Amino acid sequence: MFRRGSRPSIKDIQGDLERALALLKEARRVVVLTGAGISTPSGIPDFRSDATGLWSFTNPMEVATIWAFRDYPQRFYQWLQPLAKDIIKARPNPAHHALAEMERQGVVNTIITQNIDGLHQAAGSQHVLEIHGHLREMHCLTCGWEEASQPYLEAFIRSGDMPICPQCGSVMKPKVVLFGEALPHEVVVASQEAALHSDLMLVVGSSLEVMPAADLPALAVRSGSKLIIANLGMTPLDHLADVLVRGDVAQTLPWLAKRMA
């Protein structure tokens, strides 16, 4: 047994991995749901971990709602600056590469991600649904202007200057979904369709606490899908899982991908 609070090794969870591998080999339509935990090995902090999560230091209602952005955009950008730095310098880790490899193998059909970092695409994944948006583009809430975000974010990180719309002069917002905003309708519908038509859902690095993404595994199970949850911590849907893999996803996913080849 591994010590409480320590990260189990592959040897510690060998039996769980073997059961997960057997389910993956039987499946014909695998849908993956990823959360912040897949990107923490790339140096991007998650939101909800005790003592280290971003919401341990900041009240999200003060900086990450659409109302806070409209009234005090400088607060949002002050909060975003260190996270944007981490995302810009981050590179895909072995877990991202493992999922991309399983897609190339024809094992994984769709990746639904709660992350805004674009690391799945950087690793080579092609079929990615970004349910909480992304940082690739800026959007002006006043006039609707849209533009690639890279030059704005790089200038913002260097100088702290907020991105200003070249058309109307308002502060632009990255195309990330803030609290109080509607999720992108087409992405939500596509994610629900993917869950409904899966025969195996693999959850990777998600606390399964944020709706509606958190309901997708339950939707899949109600439709007859098997469920694997690969996460270091417990989730509210653990009781629905056929297999729980309590390991470092940067180790467990490559282990599975290698044996699916």
> pLDDT digit string (tens) for 221-261?
999 999 999 998 899 999 999 999 999 999 999 999 999 87
Q: Is this model's pTM higher than 0.75 or not?
A: yes
| Strands 200-204 and 173-176, sheet pairing | unpaired
Query: 3-state class of 176 per DSSP?
Result: strand
Per the listing, tokens 């993917």 go with 194
Q: Using CA atoms in the order 77, 83, 86, 87, what is the torsion angle rounded to 10 degrees?
A: -80
Nearest CA among 249, 254, 153, 167 for reference residue 206: 249
Q: Does residue 218 or residue 214 have the better pLDDT?
A: 218
Q: Give 174's strand partners.
A: 138
Q: Is the model's pLDDT at 187 over the cut of 50? A: yes
Q: Is the model's pLDDT at 5 over the cut of 70? A: no
CA 202/CA 108 separation, integer angstroms: 9
Check if the beta carbon of residue 108 is closer than 8 Å to that of residue 30.
yes
Report the chain's mean pLDDT, rounded to a whole number: 89
Check if the beta carbon of residue 116 is closer than 8 Å to that of residue 176.
yes
Per the listing, tokens 């073997």 go with 18
Question: Residue 70's pLDDT band (boundaries 50, 70, 90)?
Answer: very high
Q: Does residue 172 or residue 213 have the better pLDDT?
A: 172
What digits encode the pLDDT tens for the residues 28-69?
999 999 999 999 999 998 755 444 444 445 556 677 889 989
User: What Cα–Cα distance (Å) separates residue 2 from each residue in 15, 29, 93?
Assistant: 14, 33, 24
Domain ranges of the chain: 11-44+92-132+183-261, 47-89+133-176
Query: 3-state class of 158 per DSSP?
Result: helix
Architecture, CATH, for domain 47-89+133-176: 2-Layer Sandwich (3.30)
Catalytic residue among 96, 97, 120, 132: 132
Please count the helices (runs of H) and the strands (runs of E) in the chain: 10, 9
Q: Does residue 242 or residue 10 have the better pLDDT?
A: 242
Question: Which pLDDT value is given to residue 2?
Answer: 40
For the 11-44+92-132+183-261 domain, the top CATH level (class) is alpha beta
Q: Percentage of residues in the chain with pLDDT exceeding 90?
A: 70
Burial of residue 147 (CB within 10 Å: 0-12, 13-18, 19+) is middle
Question: Which pLDDT value is given to residue 219?
Answer: 96
Nearest CA among 176, 166, 149 for reference residue 79: 176
Q: Percentage of residues in the chain with pLDDT exceeding 70?
A: 91
Question: Which pLDDT value is given to residue 6?
Answer: 57
What are the tokens at 56? 């341990």
Question: Which pLDDT value is given to residue 60?
Answer: 60
Catalytic annotation on 239? no
Check if the beta carbon of residue 68 is closer than 8 Å to that of residue 147.
no
